């Protein structure tokens, strides 16, 4: 279990939202029944002697202090803390809020994904520092111990209690580390009990009757006898993982290893939600030059780490990096519920779109060649030859596999009506024809002169005047004296001949 304590959350929330307030003495006040009190103050104000809990009148009496006074907005603090908890979802799938300034993260099984508990704590700490927040991060066996260690960090901003040693780390802390209320602490204090160790030494059977059930609960929670559950904050839609690099890395093999690790974590997060990724964005922040990012799209939702690693590697090996990388972030741009794999009795007869072999092939091809290079075509009813079909990428979207509901084009083409070899951009050819609007007789293409022996046509193709770039063309299927076949047209507007296809 991980606890993150943000000691100055109200102030830091404001300074991150309004950077101009940073560095200034800042007072947050609220109106309680006993008059206005300082709820929080910035470190600069503290230097002048201001303390949280102090009456505002006392604080303003300090003549040397030119403080900015703002009203404390607890609601806004809470909302922002929830957003921060959601941000922490890039580290752990379960994040909860305790009090007004502490976050709890479930760290079970997370350590291997970060290469150890130490790096895990480091990464979280660095991430929060980069956001401009002061945070104390602690990792321990249970929530009670983690909370205690976070609030009483000793030296340094992070504390790690190795497995089994949580209690030992906590025993020397004062009673407030147990999250007890003030009355209980005062009562115990009058009895001479000041530290956790002393409380643990008391006979347990009488504690409930003398101090109320809460003390006993807290002790049991600390010892691990009573389970404590994180009340998790709901996930927002973002699925992101990141790795901050201190110092920046230059070697591609190392960056690749980090990418692989990030993908393993993402797969873990996706599997927890029973979802698969359809589109990933990988973002590399560079020190000196522009950030590099690339997209990876998949044929089917997948949460398989090995598959994701293979496809990302195909794309990432073509990247050119010009400066050291300071952070690597991977974000799931699109995801969908994982398809339930149905066992098909006669696999040979099943549609190939359900087969994993083709899915892997499509992903690999799209990974190296780009999503727009792997498409499925569909014929559409359209006079102009260039637009008689549409293409749709097979990766990155679920609609690619819907059965075509469009009506088939009403005019069924004979096989030789259209050429198999098509020039998307018609090629200008020098043509000779006898009649003004007649068929071609000779034409030159590719440095060769061809003499037309037979022709079929003209097939008049016109698009309506409402099209901005309408066409008026007479198409001819010509056969030359040597038996070669081509598809030519005369543009009626410009009176020029073009070659639009060859039968080969």
Under the rule (CB under 8 A), what is the footprint of other proteins?
348-350, 352, 355, 357-358, 360-362, 364-365, 368-369, 372-379, 385, 388-389, 391, 394, 403-404, 412-424, 434, 441, 445-446, 448-451, 453-456, 479-486, 501-504
Q: Which two tokens stand for residue 417?
A: 């009506």
Question: How many CA atoms lie less than 13 Å away from 260 in the CB half-sphere?
Answer: 14
Least distance between other proteins and beta carbon 238 (Å): 32
Least distance between other proteins and beta carbon 328 (Å): 26
Q: Residue 95: is the preceding peptide bond cis (ω within 30°)?
A: no
Least distance between other proteins and beta carbon 321 (Å): 22
DSSP string for residues in 84-146: HHHHGGGT-S-EEEETTTEEEE--TTTHHHHTSHHHHHHHHHHHHHHTT---EEEE-SSHHHH
Paired with 243 in beta bridges are 328
Chain centroid to Cα 334, Å, comes to: 9
Comparing CB distances to other proteins, the nearer of 326 and 393 is 393
Least distance between other proteins and beta carbon 419 (Å): 6
CA distance 425 to 207: 89
Q: Are strands 26-32 and 68-71 parallel, antiparallel or unpaired?
A: parallel
| Secondary structure of residue 278 in the 3-state scheme | strand
Least distance between other proteins and beta carbon 164 (Å): 51
Least distance between other proteins and beta carbon 465 (Å): 24
Comparing CB distances to other proteins, the nearer of 183 and 373 is 373
DSSP string for residues in 130-177: HTT---EEEE-SSHHHHHHHHHS--SSSEEE--TT-HHHHHTTSBGGG
Buried b (16+ CB within 10 A) or exposed e, 137-173: bbbbbbbbbbbbbbbbeeeebbbbbeeeebbebbbeb
Comparing CB distances to other proteins, the nearer of 94 and 431 is 431
DSSP string for residues in 410-449: SSPPPGGGS-SEEEEEEEE-EEE-SSTTS---EEEETTEE
Comparing CB distances to other proteins, the nearer of 482 and 495 is 482
Comparing CB distances to other proteins, the nearer of 252 and 389 is 389
Comparing CB distances to other proteins, the nearer of 235 and 418 is 418
Comparing CB distances to other proteins, the nearer of 157 and 384 is 384
Comparing CB distances to other proteins, the nearer of 314 and 491 is 314
Least distance between other proteins and beta carbon 358 (Å): 5
Comparing CB distances to other proteins, the nearer of 192 and 357 is 357
Least distance between other proteins and beta carbon 445 (Å): 7
CA distance 40 to 34: 17
CA distance 371 to 365: 8
DSSP 368: H
Comparing CB distances to other proteins, the nearer of 46 and 454 is 454
Least distance between other proteins and beta carbon 483 (Å): 3
The dihedral through the CA atoms of 121, 126, 131, 132 has a sign that is positive
Comparing CB distances to other proteins, the nearer of 110 and 488 is 488
Comparing CB distances to other proteins, the nearer of 417 and 430 is 417
CA distance 149 to 167: 10
How distant, in Å, are the alpha carbons of 39, 131, 302, 399, 404 from that of 237? 34, 20, 17, 21, 31
Give the Cβ contact number of residue 328 at 10 Å.
21
Phi, psi of 250 (to 5 degrees): -120, -25
Q: Which two tokens stand for residue 419?
A: 């050429």
Least distance between other proteins and beta carbon 299 (Å): 10
Comparing CB distances to other proteins, the nearer of 100 and 355 is 355
Q: Residue 424 burial by CB count (10 A; 0-12/13-18/19+): exposed, middle or buried?
A: exposed
Least distance between other proteins and beta carbon 364 (Å): 6
Least distance between other proteins and beta carbon 262 (Å): 26
Least distance between other proteins and beta carbon 317 (Å): 13
């Amino acid at each position: 279990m991980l606890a993150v304590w943000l000691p100055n959350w109200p102030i830091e929330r404001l300074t991150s939202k309004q950077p101009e307030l940073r560095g200034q003495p800042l007072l947050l006040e609220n109106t309680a029944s006993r008059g206005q009190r300082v709820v929080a103050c910035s470190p600069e104000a503290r230097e002048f002697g201001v303390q949280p809990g102090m009456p505002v009148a006392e604080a303003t009496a300090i003549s040397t202090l030119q403080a900015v006074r703002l009203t404390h907005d607890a609601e806004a603090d809470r909302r922002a803390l929830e957003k921060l908890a959601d941000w922490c979802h890039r580290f752990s799938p379960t994040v909860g809020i305790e009090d007004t300034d502490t976050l709890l993260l479930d760290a079970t099984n997370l350590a291997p994904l970060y290469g150890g508990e130490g790096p895990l704590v480091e990464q979280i700490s660095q991430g929060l520092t980069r956001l401009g927040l002061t945070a104390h991060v602690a990792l321990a066996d249970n929530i009670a111990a983690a909370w205690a260690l976070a609030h009483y960090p000793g030296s340094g901003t992070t504390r790690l209690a190795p497995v089994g040693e949580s209690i030992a780390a906590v025993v020397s802390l004062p009673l407030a580390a147990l999250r007890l209320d003030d009355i209980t602490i005062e009562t115990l204090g009058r009895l001479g009990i000041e530290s956790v160790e002393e409380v643990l030494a008391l006979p347990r059977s009488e504690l409930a009757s003398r101090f109320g059930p809460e003390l006993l609960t807290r002790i049991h929670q600390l010892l691990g006898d009573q389970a404590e559950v994180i009340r998790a904050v709901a996930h927002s839609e973002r699925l992101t993982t990141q790795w901050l690099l201190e110092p920046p890395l230059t070697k591609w093999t190392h960056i690749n290893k980090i990418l692989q690790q990030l993908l393993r974590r993402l797969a873990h997060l996706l599997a927890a939600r029973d979802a698969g990724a359809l589109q990933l964005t990988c973002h590399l922040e560079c020190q000196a030059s522009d950030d590099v990012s690339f997209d990876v799209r998949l044929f089917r939702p997948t949460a398989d780490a090995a598959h994701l690693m293979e496809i990302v590697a195909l794309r990432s090996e073509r990247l050119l990096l010009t400066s050291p990388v300071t952070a690597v972030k991977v974000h799931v741009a699109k995801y969908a519920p994982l398809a339930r794999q149905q066992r098909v009795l006669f696999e040979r007869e099943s549609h190939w779109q359900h087969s994993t072999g083709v899915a892997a092939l499509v992903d690999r091809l799209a990974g190296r060649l780009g999503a727009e290079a792997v498409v499925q075509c569909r014929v559409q009813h359209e006079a102009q030859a260039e637009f008689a079909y549409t293409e749709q990428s097979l990766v990155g979207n679920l609609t690619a596999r819907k059965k075509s509901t469009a009506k088939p084009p009403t005019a069924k083409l004979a096989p030789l009506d259209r050429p198999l070899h098509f020039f998307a951009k018609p090629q200008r050819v020098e043509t000779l024809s006898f009649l003004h609007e007649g068929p071609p007789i000779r034409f030159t293409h590719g440095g060769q002169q061809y003499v037309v022996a037979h022709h079929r046509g003209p097939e008049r193709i016109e698009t309506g005047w409402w099209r901005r770039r309408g066409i008026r063309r007479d198409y001819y299927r010509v056969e030359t004296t040597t038996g070669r076949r081509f598809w030519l047209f005369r543009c009626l507007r410009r009176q020029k001949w073009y070659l639009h296809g060859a039968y080969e």
